[in-house]
């Protein structure tokens, strides 16, 4: 309920304050479960993606944000769920599988955290693992400019322009034994696809 109310309000703010250019939205399936695998350069990124995607989206958020009762309620209403960083969080993975099985859109940042000084970090295999488990497509996403609107350490966004590029869905061959057993190769493929979107 809160998601439907908050999105138009936040969307109005962004369109008057931050310009969003969205490319490739047609690459997002209209109804089935799908993973959006995006680079991560600003704390604005989850909000920006939620505004850019016409369907409702769900996302992971660090568990520290759920320790406060009020903030926990707000995050839950906005379709976020907690994840423990720095180790495998089985509860979070289980919930992610359920969300995908219900045909939802799930945002994942393969790098895990915002890279320091703009340096790209190695992608984690969670996205590939989820895609294999539920046999859902992965849509690579490139966000450009959100780090200028909200640099690390800033509290309030600056006026600016952000571009979001959605690439073509990636589907993996479940009959390919080598590919199925090596999520690292799949993760590298996803990260390469994300990086190639920078020039579009």
SS3 string, the chain, reads: CHHHHHHHHHHHHHHHHEEEEEECHHHCCCCCCEEEEECCCCCCHHHHHHHHCCCCEEEEEEHHHHCCHHHHHHHHHCCEEEECCCCCCHHHHHHHHHHHHCCCEEEECCCCCCCHHHCCCCCCCHHHHHHHHHCCCEEEEEEECHHHHCCCCCCCCCCEEEEEEECCCECCCCCCHHHHHCHHHHHHHHHHHHHHHHHC
Q: What is the CATH number of domain 2-199?
A: 3.40.1130.10
Alpha-carbon distance of 26 to 10, in angstroms, equals 23
Q: What pLDDT does 43 receive?
A: 83
Each residue's pLDDT expressed in tens, for the chain with a length of 200 residues: 556 666 776 677 677 778 889 999 999 998 899 999 999 998 888 888 888 898 999 988 777 767 777 667 766 777 878 777 766 778 888 999 999 999 999 999 998 777 776 566 778 888 998 998 888 999 999 999 988 988 877 777 888 899 999 999 998 766 655 555 678 888 989 999 999 997 66
Alpha-carbon distance of 47 to 133, in angstroms, equals 27
Per-domain boundaries in the chain: 2-199
Q: Is 24 left (phi over 0), alpha (psi -120 to 50) or beta?
A: left
Alpha-carbon distance of 47 to 53, in angstroms, equals 10
């Amino acid at each position: 309920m809160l998601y439907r109310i908050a999105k138009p309000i936040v969307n109005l703010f962004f369109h008057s304050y931050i310009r969003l250019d969205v490319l490739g939205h047609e690459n997002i399936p209209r109804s089935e479960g799908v993973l959006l695998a995006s680079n991560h350069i600003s704390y604005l990124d989850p909000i920006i993606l939620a505004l850019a995607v016409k369907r409702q989206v769900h996302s992971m958020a660090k568990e520290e944000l759920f320790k406060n009762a009020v903030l926990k309620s707000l995050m839950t209403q906005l379709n976020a769920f907690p994840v423990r960083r720095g180790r495998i969080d089985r509860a979070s993975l289980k919930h992610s599988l359920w969300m995908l099985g219900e045909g939802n859109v799930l945002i994942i940042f393969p790098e895990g955290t915002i890279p320091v000084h703009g340096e790209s970090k190695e992608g984690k295999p969670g996205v590939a693992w989820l895609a294999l488990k539920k046999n859902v497509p992965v849509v690579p996403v490139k966000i450009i400019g959100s780090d200028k609107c909200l640099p690390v350490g800033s509290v309030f966004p600056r006026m600016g322009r952000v571009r979001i590029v959605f690439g073509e869905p990636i589907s993996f061959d479940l009959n390919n034994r080598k590919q199925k057993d090596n999520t690292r190769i799949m993760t590298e493929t996803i990260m390469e696809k994300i990086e190639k979107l920078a020039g579009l």
